[in-house]
Amino acid sequence: MQEQNLNEVWQVDVNGTIYEAPFYELGEWIDGGSLLPEDKVRKGNLRWIEARRVPALVPFFNAKANGEPMPVVISTTVAEPAAAEVVETPSEETPVDPAAAPLADHSLASQQIPSVAAIDPSICALHTGIESAFLCDGCANGFCKACPNSYGGTVKLCPLCGAMCRPVGEVRDSRQRAESDLRAVSEGFGMSDFFSAMGHPFKFKTSLFFGAVMFMFLTLGKGAGAMGGIFMVVGGIFAGMSANALTFGVLANTINNFIQGKLDENFMPDFDDFSVWEDVVHPFFLSIAAYISSFGPFILVLIVGFYLVTSSVSTKMDAYKSDLEKIPGTNVYAGRELVDQTGDVKDALKGIDERQMERSKRLTMAAGDMDEDPASAAEPTPQVDDETREQEELWAAATESQKKSLESTLGKSPETEAREQSEMIQAFLGLAAPLVVIGAIAFLWGLFFFPAACAVAGYTRSFAATINPLVGLDTIKRFGVDYVKILTMAFVLLVASIVVTGILGAVFAVFNLPMVGNLPATALSALFTFYLSAVFSCILGYALYKSADRLGLSRG
C-alpha cells in the first residue's frame, strides 16, 4: 500500500462546496457518509480527481459498502512521523464528529454506496495489464512509462492529480529503508551495533588501507617539529591539522550516511570533488571545537598549574644561580657558549690528571720509605679519601658536562626526558590539593563529554554548535541510556589503543632514538588508531541513526 501522510491537507468538493481536512479524517467522512466515491478530492493544490481513484481511500469505500468496520490507519515509517498505511483489518468503529464532516445536500445516510474496484498500484491506472514504472506521490496511483507528463526529461507529473511521480524502484527502496528504520528503532542501540561498527571498516578494505597509510604518514609528520627549524615546525603543524581533518572528515561523513539510513556506504569521504575548505579546513576546525568543549577546562587548569609550578621554583633558581653557574653540566651553565664549556671541561680534566700524578708520586715515595725502614711497613698506609672524593666529583661533573653538550646537539636522551617528566609531574602533584582535584574532575569531564561533542560535530557540521556545551548536554539528554552505552564502547576502544601502543613501544624499544622517537612503534600504532577512529565514528553513526527521532534528525 502506498504511504500517505496523515497530516497532509486534502480538499473535498461536495456539491460545489470546498472542505479541507487532514487525510486521517477522510476515512471518518466516508464512514459517516459525507464523502462518496464520485466526489472530487485533491491533495493540497493539485488537480481534482474522483475519490474512487485514490488507492488509499478504496478500502474505506468498500468497508462502507459491505457494512464492515473501517480499516485501521497505522504509521509505517519513522522517516516522516506522519506517514501512514491503511491496513484492512477489522476494528472497533470510530465515532464521527458531525461538526468535522461536510454537510452534503444529498441524503447519504439512506443511500447504498456501491463497492469500488480495488486499485493495484503495481498496474498502470490508465492502461490495464501494463506494469507500473512510476508511482504518484499525491494520489498514489501507478503509471506506465508513457503516462506521466515529462518536464525537463527527469521530472514526471501525474496525469490525474499533477503531483510528482517517482520510479517504482526508488519508492521500493524508500519503503525498505522505512521498514529498516522501524526495526532499528524497535531493537534499540546495543552490543550488536558495536560489533557491526567493528566490522564496518573492513567492508571497504581499499579505503581502510589507504586511509590508514595516509594517517600514519601524517602522524609521523607531526613529530617533525621536534627536530627544530621553522620549516620542520610548520610541516609538523600542517601534518597535525591534516591528521585531525582526516579523522573528523571520516566522522562527519559516516554520521551523515548513517542518519540517512545508508548503513552500507563507505566511511571515507568522497574526494572526487575535493575542496580544501570542506575536506581539510572545516573538519579541522570541527575537531578544535570538539576538543575545546571537552578538554578546555582541563587545559585551563594545566595552564594555571604550570604557571604556579614555574613561579614557585623561580625563587629557588635565583638563590642557587650563582652556584650553578660554577658547575659544568647544569642548565644555567649550559647557557654559555659551547666553546667556554669545552674549555672548562678540559680544565677540570687537567686538574684531575695533575692530582692523579701527585697522588702516584706520593704513593711511590711511600713505597721507597717502606723498603728502607721495614718497621714502618707494619703501619697502615694513610688513605686519601678527601682527594679521591674530590676527584670523583670533578670527574662526574665533567661527564655530566659532556652529556649536556651532546644533548644540546643531538637532543635529550630518553633518560633525561623521563627524569624531567617525572620532576614536572611531582612538582604539579605538589601543588595545593584543590587544584589537583579540579584538574582530575576537568579531565574526567573531557572524557565524558567528548563523544557528545563528536556527535554534535558530525550531525550539525557547525563550529558554533560543537563548541557550545549546551548543545552537547542536550544531545546527551536525548540519547538517554544510550549515551552510557556509547561511553562504555568508547572506553573499550581507548583501553585497546593504550594496550596496543604500549606493546608496540616495548617490542620496538630498541628503535627509540633521540628527537625522532620510536618510528616503527609510532607508525604501527597510527594504523591501529585510524581503524579505531573509524569504528568510533560508526558507533556514533549507529547511535544517531537509532535515536534520530529523539534528536529531531531528518532521515533521507
Q: Output the 3-class SS for 289-345.
A: HHHHHHHHHHHHHHHHHHHHHHHHHHHHHHHCHHHHCCCCCCCCHHHCCHHHHHHHH
**Is pLDDT at 315 greater than 90 in this prediction?**
no
* Max Cα distance, the chain (Å): 153
SS3 544: helix
Residues 163 and 15 in one domain: yes
The answer to which of 10-19, 89-98, 160-169 has the lowest mean pLDDT is: 89-98
Would 269 be classed as within a structural domain?
A: yes
* pLDDT tens digit sequence for 114-125: 666 667 788 898
Instruction: Give the pLDDT mean for 504-523.
Output: 86
Residues 126 and 230 in one domain: no
SS3 486: helix
**Is pLDDT at 316 greater than 80 in this prediction?**
no
Cα separation, 522 vs 550, in Å, equals 41
DSSP state of 54: -
Cα separation, 238 vs 241, in Å, equals 5
424, 459, 487: which is the final residue of a domain? 424
* pLDDT tens digit sequence for 390-430: 666 666 666 666 555 555 555 555 666 666 667 666 665 66
Would 152 be classed as within a structural domain?
A: yes
364, 398, 424: which is the final residue of a domain? 424
Would 184 be classed as within a structural domain?
A: no
Q: Residues in the chain, how many?
A: 556
Residues 440 and 374 in one domain: no
Residues 408 and 438 in one domain: no
**Is pLDDT at 29 greater than 90 in this prediction?**
no
Cα separation, 268 vs 6, in Å, equals 38
Q: Which three cell numbers stand for residue 18?
A: 470546498
* pLDDT tens digit sequence for 539-554: 999 999 988 888 888 7
Would 315 be classed as within a structural domain?
A: no
**Is pLDDT at 47 greater than 90 in this prediction?**
no
Task: Give me the chain's average pLDDT, please.
Answer: 76
145, 179, 213: which is the final residue of a domain? 179
Cα separation, 464 vs 11, in Å, equals 43
Cα separation, 404 vs 451, in Å, equals 44
Would 352 be classed as within a structural domain?
A: yes
Number of domains in the chain: 3
Domain extent, residue 81, equals 4-179
Amino acid sitting at position 169: G
Instruction: Give the pLDDT mean for 257-286.
Output: 81
Q: Considering only residues 488 and 53, tell me which one the structure prediction assigns the higher pLDDT.
A: 488
Residues 418 and 457 in one domain: no
pLDDT reported for residue 348:
58
pLDDT reported for residue 293:
94
* pLDDT tens digit sequence for 81-92: 333 444 444 444
Would 311 be classed as within a structural domain?
A: no
**In 27-168, which ranges are E strands?**
40-43, 49-50, 72-75, 83-87, 134-136, 142-143, 149-151, 155-157, 165-167
pLDDT reported for residue 108:
43
SS3 164: strand
Q: pTM here? A: 0.59
Element spanning 154, H or E:
none
Amino acid sitting at position 508: F
Residues 439 and 293 in one domain: yes
Residues 26 and 157 in one domain: yes
Would 313 be classed as within a structural domain?
A: no
